[in-house]
A and B are shown apart, each in its own frame.
Chain A
Amino acid sequence: MSEIEHHDYDVIVIGAGGAGLRAAIEAKGRGLRVALVCKSLLGKAHTVMAEGGVAAAMGNVYAEDNWKVHFRDTMRGGKMLNHWRMAQLHAQESPDRVQELEAWGALFDRTKDGKILQRDFGGHRYARLAHVGDRTGLELIRTLQQRAVSMDIDVFMECKVVRLTTDDDGAVNGAVAYWRPTGEFVTFGAKSVVLATGGVGKSWKFTSNSWESTGDGHAIAMWAGASLIDMECVQFHPTGMVWPLSVRGILVTEGVRGDGGVLRNSDGKRFMFEYVADMFRAETAESEDEADRWYDDHTAGRRPPELLPRDEVARSINSEVKAGRGSPHGGVFLDIASRRTADDIRKRLPSMYHQFMELAGVDITREAMEVGPTCHYIMGGVQVDPDTAATAVPGLYAAGEVAGGMHGSNRLGGNSLSDLIVFGRRAGIAAADRAESMAREPKLNQAQVTEYIDEALAPFTRDSGENPYDLQHELQELMQANVGIIRNEAEVVEALEKLDELKQRAANVAVGGGRAYNPGWNLATDLPSMLTVSTCTAQGARDRRESRGGQTREDFPKADPELGKVNFVQRQPSGRGFSSEITITPEPLPVMPDELMAIFEEESK
């Protein structure tokens, strides 16, 4: 093998979504050598697709709002499985992080008096989401991207990290990657590594996620010795497109409901009134009249049930469709046409208007949309220390969707974008601190590097074998059918068996062609991570024998208070890598201090 391209940095950040960019900006601001590595072009990461908004208790629309209310909403939305400290930091720091974006050029929609306008979203007590029409993620990523570029951060685009390298003490000291355009390998030496690789949704058939969401970060972190938590908690967004088939799964923003859209079944009935769980009954409207009053004035009525947390709404839609009251293509109707003027809709939801017009030929200012649940977000992820985003592996930090704990068993809309900037920054600080404290440049272990490169190139060495597209397809069908929105023991156990088979077959994938921009090979190198995270999700789904947030078991339809006190933690204790065993153990949740507990007690009075 010829000489491999190598770079030394103080901090490398893997992933250029909101979290990665924010971390890189922070570390670069300290004057360190920082590299940002991402699988696709800069500015195309998943964050760009976020629509509705970024949650921050600024109190611009409802002065009553403050971090405590936001904290409470987040914990309740997560069914108390969240790491309390993360939820606290997130609620406290997000207003500042959002305002900071404006100094970097972001242009949010405004209130009459010139402050940042905030909109309603499911599970948030007050209008809290700063937004730009329905393209908030674009605004966030572009702002951070422009900031990062002006700071002259080195960006390695279309460069896929396949493994993290570790030193003799088990600390992370770099990464092995390949350039997608050429297929050539590149190694990084780094004093600290920040993981910000986003989600895992591509392992499901109907998903709002892009090809990038293959769970690479989750997998390489675990292969390097980190632990994952709550991997069974996968969020199915209630409203994805269902037709045409080729766009099935593409997201319809919750902003449609926040701005007045309602869900109806084939009888034209607003069915969500029937599905209000006890926990939310006190604050949810009982009649359509009351709900409609609420949109204009939150004190004149209680919230419409369409704005319950996502898990509740997704399950309800699922039940309606199962009961035969679905729409022609197997969803339900989301109607905003009859409730807002055409101009209003086009102004507030421009990209939804286009999306339906161009992809489905549906004019949402005149007709209802057909929607159904779609795999959207993983609450689980790499276990981190709340204040520093540090993982169990020295030198490795994780932030954004790849990190676990913040959202518990279910994430509220808008809490992800704020999560990215709050914990992205914290990860950047901690990574910089460590890099500054280290005197020596890390030295990569060449044997390790060679091993990882060979591993990635193996599909080329086989003359015949499995087609990676077929495997991906089968995996997606399997996860959709067996580890989807509603689960049961038998199906999940069957899924685990089939996953084992798929893993065997994945070890026998063969690809043809050259290494330069070869999507077949690229997919082949994604498969190990997809299979690893899918296994983790299935294991968790099997062991958490209750229904809570993103984990719904039809054989255990109720929440179990005992299980509500534990995280399921997954590790590779013996041998690291794709083919090594993954263990799962319940471990107690961190205990919330009394003064925070009091926030919940006050309210139950």
Chain B
Amino acid sequence: MSDVVMHVWRGDADGGQFEEYTVPKQDGEVVLDVIHRIQATEAPDLACRWNCKAGKCGSCSAEINGKPRLMCMTRIDTLPEGETITVTPMRAFPIIRDLVTDVSFNYEQARKVPAFNPPPRPEGGYRMSQVDVERGQEFRKCIECFMCQDVCHVIRDHEENKARYSGPRFFIRYAELEMHPLDTNDRRDLVREEMGLGMCNITKCCTEVCPEHIKITDNAIIPLKERVVDADYDPIAWLGRKILRRTKRTAEQAAVQPD
């Protein structure tokens, strides 16, 4: 059988370069297998993240031939035959070493999410219907591979936006909470003012790369944008609120972590 030629980015914050590795091809292998074989033979210190090797944990995100992919779910035989395969770390995050990046941006954004705060649990547990939980379940499939964050040009190409942009991974989280049947909060001003929802220009790259096939843009971001329109840009909705004496929550009120 033929060989696999792989160009792997090796380096750290002080710079790096591609190294070429050639390994014999094996049936049914994925990119991560090849990386592991390189580790076990030529380069024991080649850094990469992985855990489950089954597309469940979202650890092994990297860019394969320039596109964000899970290394453990990218079979070699699905890549163009006979061409070298380039493997680079996720571009949007600072490099730690080789294929490992510092994804703490995402954990910081996670801390900002105000937790779910339902009414007290009734005897025998909450009642919710399947149609209601299904909406949120789509978003809870997220394995936090952060590839949508990586591909999102808002931060991939504009570092300065990171300070005020939570990114698609967290837009689906806000959408999930907003669509929760027992939810009591109102995060519309929060996502507009603090989380940078308006910076997303719905170009859908997040949806394209999501390994869980979550319809991030159609089912989360656009519905959120529409909810923000209800809250802030629709004069009829504004009038309706005035007449019905409904109030909405400010970003600060919405951001409070419940006890």
Does a CB–CB distance below 8 Å link A and B in the complex? yes
Which residues from chain A sit less than 8 Å from chain B, CB to CB? 40-44, 46, 48-49, 58, 99-100, 102-105, 107-110, 113-116, 132-133, 135, 138-139, 142, 146-147, 149-152, 155, 157, 181, 210-212, 243-247, 250-251, 351, 354-355, 358-361, 467-470, 473, 511-514, 516-521
Residue from A142, A354, A469 within 8 A of B140 (CB atoms): A142
Residue of B nearest to A146 (CB): B115
B residues near A152, Cβ cutoff 8 Å: 111, 257
Q: Is the CB of A135 within 8 A of B28?
A: no
CA distance A24 to B130 in the complex (A): 31
Q: Is the CB of A210 within 8 A of B44?
A: no
Question: Using a Cβ–Cβ cut-off of 8 Å, how many residues does chain B contribute to the interface with A?
Answer: 61
What is the 8 Å Cβ interface bit string for chain B, positions 141-171, against chain A (1 contact, 0 not)? 1111000000000000000000000000000
Q: How far is the CB of B104 from chain A (nearest CB, A)?
A: 8
Residue from A58, A107, A517 within 8 A of B47 (CB atoms): A517
A residues near B133, Cβ cutoff 8 Å: 107-110
CA distance A200 to B162 in the complex (A): 39
Q: How far is the CB of B9 from chain A (nearest CB, A)?
A: 13
> Knowing A44-B59, A115-B125, A520-B39 touch, does A138 contact B143 (C-beta < 8 A)?
yes
CA distance A354 to B212 in the complex (A): 9
Q: Is the CB of B47 within 8 A of A246?
A: no
CA distance A457 to B118 in the complex (A): 49
Residue from B29, B30, B115 within 8 A of A147 (CB atoms): B115
CA distance A250 to B258 in the complex (A): 39
Residue of B nearest to A250 (CB): B54
Q: Is the CB of A517 within 8 A of B110?
A: no
Residue from B33, B40, B100, B129 within 8 A of A473 (CB atoms): B40
What is the 8 Å Cβ interface bit string for chain B, positions 94-124, against chain A (1 contact, 0 not)? 0011101011000100110111101001001
CA distance A424 to B186 in the complex (A): 32
Q: Is the CB of B257 within 8 A of A351?
A: no
> Knowing A104-B116, A247-B54 touch, does A132 contact B137 (C-beta < 8 A)?
yes
B residues near A48, Cβ cutoff 8 Å: 51-52, 56-57, 143
Q: Is the CB of B57 within 8 A of A246?
A: no
- CB of B48 closer than 8 Å to a CB of A: yes
5 nearest CB pairs, A to B: A244-B28, A513-B45, A150-B115, A520-B44, A114-B127
Q: Is the CB of B39 within 8 A of A519?
A: yes
Residue from A41, A115, A244, A473 within 8 A of B59 (CB atoms): A41
- CB of B204 closer than 8 Å to a CB of A: no
Residue from B59, B97, B113 within 8 A of A146 (CB atoms): B113
> Knowing A49-B52, A469-B40, A473-B40 touch, does A358 contact B73 (C-beta < 8 A)?
yes
A residues near B102, Cβ cutoff 8 Å: 181
CA distance A219 to B110 in the complex (A): 33
Q: Is the CB of B12 within 8 A of A516?
A: yes
> Knowing A43-B144, A49-B52 touch, does A113 contact B136 (C-beta < 8 A)?
no
Q: How far is the CB of A448 from chain B (nearest CB, A)?
A: 29
CA distance A155 to B52 in the complex (A): 21
Q: Is the CB of A44 within 8 A of B57?
A: yes
> Knowing A48-B57, A102-B121, A110-B133 touch, does A468 contact B44 (C-beta < 8 A)?
yes
- CB of B233 closer than 8 Å to a CB of A: no
